[in-house]
Amino acid sequence: METTLIILKPDAVQRGLIGRVVGRFEDKGLQVVGMKMMTISLDLAATHYADHQGKPFYAGLVAFMTDKPVVVMALRGKGAIAVCRKMMGATFGSQAEPGTIRGDFGLSNSFNLIHGSDSAEAAERELGLFFKTGEVIEYGRAIDQWVYDLSGGKAE
């Protein structure tokens, strides 16, 4: 099982898509193990997007991400990082396949609704930025026996 960070960006929040997007992840079988609404500070945005500093889009990205509230989530499941990224779709809404979050809800190439960690290392770092110790909760779910084949003692 892995845990990944998902951010519903200001455009998703402002468009009232929180429930629909969270529902997609839960419908898939992923477990929400942390969630909160927040406004990202300039310092946190600078740390989170440090790899993009100096790029032409950096200032606009930081301004966008710090202007309005976001919803941050920790999602857990087998292969959660790859599963979430596939569900999100291509970065640009105009190029995202129907059936993906960006493909169904996005058209803009600037406002792309959602962020998801792209690797286990990034997920660990990003989860540490957005969640304090104890805010990501480990708990069992009765439905896991129906989400995963646990007959062999571990998720298939």
Please tell me which residue in 115, 123, 127, 130 is annotated as part of the active site.
115
What residues are paired with 5 via a beta bridge?
74
Q: Specify the DSSP class assigned to residue 97.
A: P
Longest C-alpha distance within the chain, in Å? 51
Is 52 labeled as catalytic in the residue annotation? no
The whole-angstrom separation of Cα 68 and Cα 10 is 5
Residue 4 sits at φ, ψ, to 5 deg, of: -130, 160
CB atoms within 10 A of CB 53: 10
User: How far, in Å, are 77, 80, 143, 146 from residue 154 at the CA level?
Assistant: 12, 15, 14, 13
Contact between residue 92 and residue 33 where contact means Cβ atoms under 8 Å apart? no
For the annotated catalytic residues, the residue numbers are 115
